[in-house]
């Protein structure tokens, strides 16, 4: 695993988004969450060391295993979104979160604002909802409660379902260009975060996110007009 993360650090450029998803079975031992692997289990502290060297990237770390909840306080940090399938190391039953989270990322079902892209926050919210729905439908006590460390950052990291084509409608095409400019500004702001005052960063990020949401709504409205 150390070799795999070393290769990842070499390949990741500053400003890249690094998505790490762990799927499997976890356990709680000695008061901490562990990912079960052949040989020694890997703890959150172990992963914290493995993530060293990725400070200039935005890291989305998803531990979809059981007993994963304690990874959040250990791994949370700047430019990092940590998601776990459970709220603590004591929720040790097999989890279903990964299935719903991956479906949310690769399908349009989680695309709440219908902009053709899935943010990490949208995928998480979709998966959390579907997990609860599945337990309710089966009339079972819910034994996994997903959690997320940074909803603000998770909202800014998005994956496209497919490349957006430029509209033939000049009004929509102009709005699409303005949205791309806002997305570029958000990406640049994320890269500048380590050098900015935290309050100023949060204020500017909120302004840009609101502008982005308004632009997306304007594009949707323009498409619906005859």
Higher pLDDT, 169 or 202: 169
Provide the domain count of the chain: 2
Single pTM value for the model: 0.75
Query: pLDDT tens digit string along 144-196?
Result: 999 999 999 999 898 875 556 678 888 888 998 898 888 888 878 877 877 88
| Same domain as 19, residue 107 | yes
Higher pLDDT, 20 or 107: 20
| Same domain as 199, residue 90 | no
Inside any domain, residue 165: no
d(CA 98, CA 100): 5
d(CA 209, CA 125): 18
| Same domain as 113, residue 43 | yes
d(CA 27, CA 34): 5
Inside any domain, residue 196: yes
Given 136, 160, 184, which residue is the final one in a domain?
160
Inside any domain, residue 87: yes
Instruction: Tell me the pLDDT of the chain averaged across its residues.
Output: 88
How high is the pLDDT of residue 226?
Answer: 63
Query: pLDDT tens digit string along 103-138?
Result: 888 777 898 877 778 999 999 999 999 999 999 999
**Which of these, 112, 107, 125, 94, lies nearest to 162 by C-alpha position?**
107
Burial bucket for residue 139 (CB in 10 Å: 0-12, 13-18, 19+): exposed
Inside any domain, residue 42: yes
Alpha carbon separation from 25 to 35, 85, 116, 173 (Å, rounded): 6, 11, 33, 47
d(CA 210, CA 146): 26
Diameter of the chain measured on Cα atoms: 63
| Same domain as 41, residue 120 | yes
| Same domain as 23, residue 74 | yes
| Same domain as 194, residue 129 | no
Higher pLDDT, 213 or 17: 17
What integer is the mean pLDDT of 47-75?
94
| Same domain as 106, residue 15 | yes
Given 107, 140, 160, which residue is the final one in a domain?
160
Give the domain range for residue 200. Answer: 170-224
Given 160, 180, 196, which residue is the final one in a domain?
160
């Amino acid at each position: 695993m150390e070799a795999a993360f070393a290769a990842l650090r070499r390949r990741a450029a500053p400003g890249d988004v690094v998505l790490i998803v762990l799927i499997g079975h976890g356990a709680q031992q000695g008061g901490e969450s562990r990912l079960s692997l052949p040989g020694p289990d890997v703890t959150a502290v172990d992963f914290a060391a493995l993530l060293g060297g990725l400070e200039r990237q935005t890291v989305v770390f998803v531990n979809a295993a059981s007993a994963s909840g304690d990874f959040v306080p250990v791994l949370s940090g700047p430019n990092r979104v940590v998601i776990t399938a459970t709220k603590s190391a004591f929720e040790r039953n097999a989890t279903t979160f990964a299935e719903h989270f991956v479906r949310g990322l690769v399908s349009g079902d989680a695309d709440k604002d219908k902009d053709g892209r899935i943010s990490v926050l949208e995928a998480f919210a979709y998966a959390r909802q579907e997990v609860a729905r599945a337990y309710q439908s089966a009339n079972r006590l819910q034994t996994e409660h997903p959690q997320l460390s940074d909803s603000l950052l998770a909202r800014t990291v998005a994956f496209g379902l497919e490349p957006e084509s430029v509209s033939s409608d000049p009004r929509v095409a102009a709005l699409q260009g303005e949205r791309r400019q806002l997305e570029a500004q958000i990406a640049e702001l994320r890269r500048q975060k380590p050098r900015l005052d935290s309050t100023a960063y949060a204020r500017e990020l909120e302004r840009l996110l609101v502008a982005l949401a308004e632009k997306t709504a304007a594009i949707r409205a323009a498409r619906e007009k005859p």
